[in-house]
Every structure is written in C-alpha cells, then in structure tokens.
Chains A and B, each alone.
Chain A
C-alpha cells in the first residue's frame, strides 16, 4: 500500500501542546575564525594543507582527520573562490510539500586548487541544464555588508 496522505490531524487526540525552544550561539572554532575573518576582507578562500599527506581542506581545518596531526598556520593557503560542479540536484518542493516558486539548484562544488568540495546554491536561468563539470565562481556579498559567516557567499554562478 502506498501511503500518500500528507497531513493527519493529531489534535483529534487529547494532547498537551509543547515546544523544544532552545537558542544557540555557535563559536566558529579555531579554523573557522581564521577562514571567516579572511572571507570578510578578501574575494578568495583560505584553505589548509596537511603537512603529511598534503591534502588541502576547504573549508580549512586545524587538523588532518586522516594523518591525525596539527595543520600549522604556515600550512594555510589562499585559493580562488571558484570551482567545478561535481554533482547537482534541482529542488522543486519545500520541506512542507509546497511547490517552490522557482526551482532551486543545489550542487557539490570541487573548489579549485583544493581536495575538497563544498555545498553551494547555483544561480542559473536554465535549471534543466546538465551541470556536470560546469565551471562556477562564488558571488560574495559586497565587502561592506559581509559579516564573516557562510551567508557572505551568496551563490555560485
């Protein structure tokens, strides 16, 4: 049997209405602090290179998870804010099942000169286009408006 019902009415049972409100303040971390301080001022990304296996992490890390060693400050490098689409999808409904006004293209982008990919939103006029291997660059907020958070990367195009 295929279950197609999208909503049921739990209020038809006797119930108590609660919430799990809790607010958070997430610290950037040692590596994150340096990465976002750089992103606030520059149009490039910072990455960190493991001194042992030479793997380049972006976003950067203070340690290599494979070699399990520190990545010292001097092993950090500046890389261009661009890359290549490795894989992608197009979302057409939101988490509540409602149709989106415009399809949203989400991609995993291999960042140039690194061994890492990051999740990004792709701005495109043609969401049906095959994006495999597409070269994209990050569009950042105007420098004056940057906050030093991931939101400073508006999208890739």
Chain B
C-alpha cells in the first residue's frame, strides 16, 4: 500500500436548518478544502461521497444529486454509507483510493441535510428497523441508547454527574469552533442534570442536535504530497467492523465492534499502547455517555475507567489525552456523515497547528478519530500521524 497524506480540510456552518441546498453545502465545504490544499478541480482524480440515510435529505439516492457540489461531475465517483459510521468510513474509503494506487489525489465530501425531514428527522429513524420483528412496536432510537447508557452506568457503577461532565466539556470546547451550533461557555453539570428527561437516563442535554452541514477532506499520494505542502499529515491506520443486527444478544456495556476496528487500525499504525502513543482522540459523541463508551472501545483506557479520566481532567484540551477538542457532536452539531469535520478534519487541523482557538498545546503528533453507526453495529476508526 502507498502512503497517503491529508492536504486540506473544509467544513460549513452546522445549524438546525440552513437555507443552502445539500448541493450548495457540499460546494462550500469542498471549495474550502480545495483552497486549503491549493488545488483545482482538475487536480482531483476521484471523489468519495459520504452521506447517511436518503430519508434525511428526502432525495432517494441523494448522492447523485450532490455530485455537482462535490467537484465530481465527469470524474470517477462512489458514495459510501453506514449510518453514523459514515463520517469516518468515507475518509477510510477515500484513503484506499489513494493507498491502492488508483488515484493520486482523492476528495472526500460528507453531507447531511437533516432539516429537510420535517418536522423532525427522528421520523426517518422510524424506518431503519426490521419491519417484521421491531417496527410493530414503533421503536425510537433514544430508547435503545437509553438502555445502552443504563447498562454502561450499571456495569461500572457510574454516576450521571460524571457522564454530564462530557457534555459540559464538549459544549465548552466548541466555543472556539467557527461552525459550532451548540457552543456554551457557561454550561454546568447542573444544567445537564436539570434538562428535560427524554427516556431514562437520557436527558435533553445528553444528546447532540440534528443539523445541516457538510465537510470535505483532500488526500494525495506520498510522491505528490511535497507539491502541495511542507508539513503533510499521514493516514497511519484505518479499521472498520460491523456486528450483527442482533444487538439484542450483545452485552451493551462494551462496544466490541469498535474495539475490533481500533485493533485493526492500531496494528496498521504500529500502535501498541494507545493511551501513551495517541495525543488526541475524537471518539464519536452523539450522546455524552458515548464518548466514554467509545474511549473504552478505542482501548484508550480500561473498561469503566473513562469517567474517572474525565473527572480527573485528563480529557480536557490541556490534559494528558485531550478528547473531542473540536467540541464534538455535542458542541458543534451532528449532521451525521458531515461530522467527518470534527472526527477527521479536526485531527488534520490539530496536527498541522491550524486549529486556532481549539489548538491542543504541546505539538500533538498522533490522533485517532472514530464514528459509530447503523443499529449499534458499526465501528469506524482512523489514525492520523505527522
């Protein structure tokens, strides 16, 4: 496999509902990434698009509708999607285009326009279940995550106060993010604990908001990297795993499929002690407990230890292992696939010192990003290194 460099990233505003069409959002993110990389459309060999269910944007096979905004018209193109896992899976697919040698320069665009699904994108989630065995019960995704959160809390005797610290950290971290939807410099644990109860133990401020938005990332091969940048950031490892739809038969306290994906990525990256060797982590945080759950899945600590690291400040921006310095999904917003902006573009910006007010001190060199999707099945992991 060839070595692959990241040479540019882009990201639009994340908002509950934006005027821009999905195509226009894709254009804005793509244009920003191209300007950062210093390339034109003709320099791009192939395009990978990541976008989650068609039912959000309300356009079946929506990828084909978005391509004009993704600099893809007239080029080899593919759309990949695995629900919430897409935000890291799309950049994995972009990486293999260059690593395999079929492309020298590949563009990855991730888009989601959840605001189109009206009045609330939750209606789209009603149709992701097995029609015979689940849907007659009219299930809601929050039920599932409430049970997973409850199981995680019970298995390790974790207090809600400790989980709420994640929401507080990420919404505060997002204050420096120009795209952020729910940044809050003054939020407290009490605010989270006093927010509306949705399905025990999940409360309003434990959840990230639906959003419209897009992000983009540009890769190039090692032999071309020096044309574009003096400080390339490399894709050191990738991993992905899907588990059975029978989430009912798994112990929900630990996401084994995330651990499997992480092991695959760490093996490729030559990482044997993730906590010591990784400087920044961007685990998927659509819920506050998921950051902790995924830190454990990413083998950054022992099972049940993530809340303790959080309470001790280890995961703060200036801690030993900054976690979600972008502000994550909880603070910046959750336009499903487009969260590539926080999970992968952020690592690139952090490792190149371009993260502005969000910059992690101490010259970080290795970052891990992760996403999670489908019905508690999919783990996608990427490691970047400079």
Contacts and interface: CB of A to CB of B under 8 A. Distances in A.
B31 interface: yes
A22 B135 contact: no
A29 B73 contact: no
B24 A30 contact: yes
A61 to B, nearest CB: 8
A99 to B, nearest CB: 27
A149 interface: no
B71 A26 contact: no
Interface in B46-89: 55, 58, 68-69, 71, 73-74
A111 interface: no
B41 A27 contact: no
Contacts of B30: 68
Contacts of A27: 17-21, 115-116
Interface string A29-44: 1111100000000000
Contact of A26 (B41, B58, B69): B58
Given A23-B119, A65-B73, A30 B136 contact: no
A30 to B, nearest CB: 6
A66 interface: yes
B58 A22 contact: yes
B71 A25 contact: no
A28 B19 contact: yes
A28 B68 CA distance: 17
B332 to A, nearest CB: 21
Given A22-B117, A25-B116, A27-B18, A16 B131 contact: yes
A16 B132 contact: yes
B135 A24 contact: no
Contact of B136 (A16, A26, A31): A16
A10 interface: no
Contacts of B17: 27
Contact of A68 (B40, B55, B117): B40
B357 interface: no
A119 to B, nearest CB: 15
B271 interface: no
B123 interface: yes
Contacts of A155: none
Interface string B116-144: 11110001101100011001100000000
A21 interface: yes
A116 to B, nearest CB: 13
A20 interface: yes
A16 B135 contact: yes
A66 B21 contact: no
A68 B71 contact: yes
A62 B25 CA distance: 11
A14 to B, nearest CB: 9
Given A16-B131, A16-B135, A30 B20 contact: yes
A63 B69 contact: yes
A20 B24 contact: no
Contact of A63 (B18, B31, B119): B31
A154 B233 CA distance: 54
A22 B24 contact: no
A18 interface: yes
Nearest to B71: A68
Given A63-B24, A68-B34, A20 B58 contact: no
Interface of B: 17-21, 23-24, 27, 30-31, 34, 40-41, 55, 58, 68-69, 71, 73-74, 115-119, 123-124, 126-127, 131-132, 135-136
Shortest Cβ-Cβ A-B pairs, 4 listed: A29-B21, A25-B118, A24-B58, A65-B68
